[in-house]
Structure 1
Amino acid sequence: MSEKRATARALIHDARRRFEEAGLADADQDSRILVMELLGLSHTDLVLDGDRRLAEEAVARVEDAVLRRLAREPVYRILGSREFYGLDLKLSPGTLEPRPDTEVLVDALLPHLRHRIALQGTAEIVDLGTGTGAIALALLAQCPEARAVGVDISEDALATATANAAALGLVDRFSTRAGPWFAQTPESFDIIVSNPPYIRTAVMEGLEPEVANHDPVAALDGGEDGLEAYKAIAAEADAHLNSGGVIGLEIGFDQQDGVQQVFEQAGFLRLEAHRDLGGRDRVLIFGRKQD
């Protein structure tokens, strides 16, 4: 790009053109997010100051980001963080990138969490496969009386979740445990929540490079039937769920019947089912049958 065209508006236009030529989806959105975030611009800034010539360093930063996106690195991986439920969350190689559809799980659990707090003054949450800490931290941010434990097999993920909790002022109510599911977590909880790996192994090869090359495999691969994690959680959940507590799970769009069967066989009753922003099955809430 010539020096005289090195403006924010021109950089967005150039990035969009290159993304479109490369066949990338969401070229317009990606170009705007990358350039505006890297330059620290709001939409108002772009309107009022989008034609101001930029320093060479800023142009070089944007060019590096554009090249990374053309190499199929996701936008928010390039930026290093992503917003989830109004919280800015740092990403790292060991964490799944939080998606907007997972906010449906937070929405579904909040009434149950607030009910528990109204009854007993506080509530204990465990987030299995916590990753960035997104779900647990979103719940804590909404309910200052609650406490949460984030569990993950990845030390990198746990370090990232702890850093996110600290940055959000939630670290005094958030702790972590390293290990699979309940292995290092003997306590019982009012809310058990998880967005576990649920993609069938046979489908993994067909994932887009943005997912396959940048989200950790352990956070994606749900085994041959996509239900391995649900079976593991269901097998131990009864011993870790307080009376009257609930289990909240994200599921794949075609897994409602399979996950429901797994948990019903383990003694749980489906209380609620919720769809995501695209109208697909996404969240199930379970309680004990005898509760």
Structure 2
Amino acid sequence: MFNSPITVKQLIGDASALLNDISDSQILDCQILLCHVLDKPTSYVLTWPEQEVSADNLTRFTQLFSRRLNGEPIAYIVGEKEFWSLPLLVSPATLIPRPDTETLVELVLNHHQSSQLKCLDLGTGTGAIALALASENPKWQIEAVDFNADAVALANTNKQRCGLNTVTIYQSDWFSQVKESSFDIIVSNPPYIDALDPHLSQGDVRFEPSSALVANDEGLDDIRHIIDKSRSHLSSNGGSLYIEHGFEQGKQVRDLLTQYGYRDAVTQKDFGGNPRITYASFFAN
């Protein structure tokens, strides 16, 4: 596919041209893959563009690049994805953390200034949301759960790698193993895609676990369950629930929150301008 000798600049140029129909970030993809092979920071390819790539490294790059040509996400190939400046390990057992989910983290941080809060992250996956919040508020009592044992193990590894050991991560099918009943904040990025959505056969999501993507009732089944059951686990004096959802589901989620007795439901747009996070407060009395 690529002939030796070849420089860093030439390899990235040749490889990125082959990704035009596969990726919207073809140059960055190739830079990340090459730096992964070379065990160098991404700045290396910009600093040393005329450096020749050894034959062994070219072979390794070609092997990984072939996986990217097949559509496999970069994060799964290199096994890592940055979220909120945290280097998180990823695996096919979890969704790949996305920048738009940082909108949820920003909202929680902007709305909750106290240094002493209890927070629950439902369906934590890599641990991205819980660990991001813990990195900003080390005194918060944060619990994170996932029904997938492999995801729980990965999230716990990320916790240790990031030095955020105050977060408690354990296996639970939504609230089944959650004992606390007075969280100030509950957050979740649950499955919200309809099983018949054509996007499931396109792009990166083809490689991600369907159990973390797909929900019944046009993608609303898990969201409805979380909205319902969160009422028994939120602080009685106005706990807050934050839910990530599809860009066309904002009104439906607000309506569900209102239907289940929550107050002042608001939908926030993500970095791409799409309605993505809906939040509201619940008062038991």
Deviations 1:97-152 (A, max 9, x none): 0000000000000133323x2xxxx2111100000000000000001111211111
Cα offset, 1:31, TM superposition? 2.0
Assess if the C-alpha contact under 8 Å between 2:127 and 2:144 holds in 1: yes
What does residue 149 of structure 2 align with?
A: 155
SS in 2 for 1:239: coil
Higher helix share: 1
Q: 5+ residue gaps in structure 1?
A: none
1:10 and 2:45 are equivalent in the alignment = no
Partners in 1 of 2:86 and 2:257 — Cα distance?
31
Pairing partner for 2:226 from 228, 233, 244 = 233
Name the amino acid aligned to 1:234: I
What does residue 94 of structure 2 align with?
A: 95
Cα offset, 1:269, TM superposition? 1.5
Cα offset, 1:234, TM superposition? 1.4
Q: TM-score, normalised by structure 1?
A: 0.91
Assess if the C-alpha contact under 8 Å between 2:22 and 2:71 holds in 1: no
The 1:86/1:44 distance shift into structure 2, 3 A limit, reads closer
SS in 1 for 2:177: coil
Assess if the C-alpha contact under 8 Å between 1:222 and 1:229 holds in 2: yes
Assess if the C-alpha contact under 8 Å between 1:114 and 1:143 holds in 2: no
Partners in 2 of 1:229 and 1:140 — Cα distance?
25
Partners in 2 of 1:14 and 1:95 — Cα distance?
31
Assess if the C-alpha contact under 8 Å between 1:150 and 1:175 holds in 2: yes
Cα offset, 1:205, TM superposition? 6.5
Name the amino acid aligned to 2:3: S
- In percent, how many aligned pairs have the same letter? 34
Matches within 5 A, 1:1-291: 1-5=2-6, 7-20=7-20, 23-42=22-41, 44-115=43-114, 117=115, 122-171=116-165, 173-188=166-181, 189-203=183-197, 206-212=200-206, 214-242=207-235, 243-289=237-283
Cα offset, 1:267, TM superposition? 1.1
Name the amino acid aligned to 1:89: L
Cα offset, 1:263, TM superposition? 1.4
Assess if the C-alpha contact under 8 Å between 1:132 and 1:157 holds in 2: yes
Partners in 2 of 1:177 and 1:191 — Cα distance?
18
Name the amino acid aligned to 2:255: Q
Q: 5+ residue gaps in structure 2?
A: none
Cα offset, 1:24, TM superposition? 4.0
Instruction: Give the CA RMSD over aligned residues.
Output: 1.8
Name the amino acid aligned to 2:229: E
Cα offset, 1:278, TM superposition? 1.2
SS in 2 for 1:96: coil
SS in 1 for 2:219: coil
Partners in 2 of 1:3 and 1:253 — Cα distance?
46
Partners in 2 of 1:103 and 1:239 — Cα distance?
26
Name the amino acid aligned to 1:262: L
Q: TM-score, normalised by structure 2?
A: 0.92
Partners in 1 of 2:217 and 2:90 — Cα distance?
28
Partners in 1 of 2:231 and 2:26 — Cα distance?
46
Deviations 1:221-268 (A, max 9, x none): 021321101111112111100123211111110111111111111111
Name the amino acid aligned to 1:38: V
Deviations 1:160-181 (A, max 9, x none): 000000001112x111231211
The 1:43/1:170 distance shift into structure 2, 3 A limit, reads closer
